[in-house]
Structure 1
Amino acid sequence: MRPARLAVGVVSAGRVGSVLGAALARAGHNVVAASGISAASVERAERLLPGVPLLPPDEVLEAADLVLLAVPDDTLPGLVSGLAATKAWRPGQIVIHTSGAHGVGVLDPVAEAGALPLALHPVMTFTGREEDLQRMAACTVGITAAPDDEAAWNVGEALTVEMGGEPVRVPEAARPLYHAALAHGANNLVTLVADCLDLLGGAGIANAERMLGPLLSAALDNALRHGDRALTGPVARGDTGTVRKHLAVLAEAAPEIEPCYSALARRTAARASAAGLLGAEAAAELSELLDEGPK
């Protein structure tokens, strides 16, 4: 089912809210109001939501048939309950939050007011710029609705398709583990890549980004295609001598990174062993070396 043309209100015009608001406008809906206080939010709204007035959240709700709550995870419960206390929610509204960490339980005050609660979490990182609209075409969106409300699931799926995304149903009970998995991969990947760039820069390697790009892109592609069979390198091969050198040089040149290297090496060894890529003797030697630490 395709939702009718809706009056959309965006709370707030951050990186996610401004882009999803623009995606809904591109799909034919009418963004009638948004909230935003910081200079960055105001500038972003001017670019992505031109002509849309910036109003306090309660006034955004008053003007909107569909309310998009694009606020930080920890802010969401207080915002929802605070607006409920002022009787800002009304029957017939569609209320969507974009938090990955929450399901629809956080929107219980919305449901109690007679509005339709939905959780739509775009599985991508946002810059808050126009290119995000193009990236929506390759983006999945984790949808959560009340278990027995098929109409709500259908509305969430239809809105996702209209914005260019691919809908994936995520049950309420699965939401915490779902979000932990995504954060573990995406957030820690950024940290890992940044650490690698720092190490290469410290070694005097020029154009480290160009060196890492093809390597990491191939590793990601292989991992998604082949799982543990894509594991390569000294840990997966059981090259204890090489791992020992790594630990030593990291302990000297980057002691803040060595514990992370060791922790990931343990996990890689465990996966390689379980996949039959690493023999029991080599796995035991690696485990002993990693337990001893750099010498």
Structure 2
Amino acid sequence: MQRSGRLGVGVIGAGRVGPVLAAALAGAGHALTGISAVSEQSRERASSILPAVPILEVPEVLERSELVILAVPTAELTGLVEGLAAVGAWQPGQIVVHTAAEFGTAVLAPAARAGAIPIAIHPAMAFTGTSVDLARLPEAWFAVTAPAAVQPIGQALVVEMGGEPVLIAEEDRPTYAEAIATVSTFSSAIVDQAVGLLRSIDVEAPGRVLGGIARSSLDYALARAQPDSIDLAVLRETGFDEGREDR
């Protein structure tokens, strides 16, 4: 398949992630060829974020596309890739990207055997499935896993979507996924617990009350992970020290 700098991009899955990434690539000049959407909710989401993009069956999306984004639930990814390989849907030279945190490119092996180019790209952010996410992509890092010769393609796609790429080795994807899940689950659980405590004493709008301390505490915790980028003395003057969030 011949490719220029601009690709025909198709998306399999219209959950919260796929349409947003497709919209970001369209903003970088790529042409959107189609998106698959099964449920009524996913069809509405696709139509909302990508109003001019046709909703197609999966084989037709693959047939039209030079770059295919597989944005499906993790549990469905292996079966989808294998099933499409069984019917000869993958095309030589086609770039195939999945967005699951847990997997590298091994899960794309059936497509690679057909001549497709496998890349795993996971955006490390929580998606709402709305256009609001587009404005947040520049703040996000994307884990890129790919064969060495293909890594520049994955990194370039991330940059075009507005994000920052970080290379993750194939064998390190489970650890990466665990880190992502830990932050997501733990942060949500802690906030829910704190909100519950305030509600138990009849505090109105507990989310607003906790918002400032939650964001500043998280920012400080993340800053400690890259100490060269912060001045701890300044943080202490603002009420933080290395062991406590206030005095």
Q: Deviations over 1:96-132 (max 9, x none)?
A: 0000010000000111000100000001010011111
- AA in 1 matched with 2:73: P
2:40 maps to 1:28 = no
Matches within 5 A, 1:219-230: 219-226=217-224, 230=242
Name the structure 1 match of 2:178.
Answer: 180
Distance of 2:160 and 2:224 partners within structure 1: 32
Gaps in structure 1 of 5+ consecutive residues:
238-295
- 8 A Cα contact 1:96 1:120, kept in partner: yes
The alignment covers a number of residue pairs equal to 231
Structure 1 pair 3–169 and aligned structure 2 pair: CA distance change class (3 A): farther
1:151-186 CA-to-partner distances (Å, cap 9, x unmatched) read x10000111111101010000011000110111012
> Structure 2-normalised TM-score?
0.89
Residues 50-101 of structure 1: CA deviation (Å, up to 9, x unaligned): 1211111111111111000000111100100011000100101000000001
Segments ≥4 residues shifted beyond 4 Å:
none
1:232 matched to 2:230: no
Could you tell me which runs of 5 or more consecutive residues in structure 2 were left unpaired when the two chains were aligned: 228-240
**Structure-2 separation of matches of 1:121 and 1:109:** 20
Q: Distance in 2 between matches of 1:220 and 1:9?
A: 36
Q: Give the letter aligned to residue 22 of structure 2.
A: G
SS at match of 1:8: strand
What does residue 110 of structure 1 align with?
111
Aligned to 2:203: 205
Larger Rg, first or second structure (1 or 2): 1
User: Match of 2:194, SS?
Assistant: helix
The answer as to whether partners of 1:11 and 1:35 remain within 8 angstroms in 2 is yes
SS state of the match for residue 120, structure 1?
strand
Question: Mapping of 1:186-201 within 5 angstroms?
Answer: 186-201=184-199
Preserved CA contact (<8 Å) 1:219 1:230: no
Structure scoring higher RCO (CA < 8 A, sep ≥ 6) equals 2
1:273-292 to 2 correspondence within 5 Å?
A: none
Q: 1:125 to 1:3 in 2, by over 3 A?
A: farther
TM-score by length of 1: 0.75
Give the aligned partner of residue 250 of structure 1. none
Task: Quote the Cα distance in structure 2 between the aligned partners of 1:184 and 1:167.
Answer: 21
Deviation at 1:232, TM superposition (A): 2.5
- Structure richer in helix, relative to its length: 1
Letter matched to residue 220 of structure 1: L
Moved more, 63-72 or 39-48: 39-48
Q: Deviations over 1:17-39 (max 9, x none)?
A: 00001011111011111100112
Match of 1:133, SS state, is: helix
Mapped contact 1:222–1:230 kept (Cα < 8 A): no
- Of 217-226 and 122-131, the range deviating more from structure 2: 217-226
Aligned-partner SS, 2:135: helix
Q: 3-state SS of the aligned residue for 1:68? A: strand
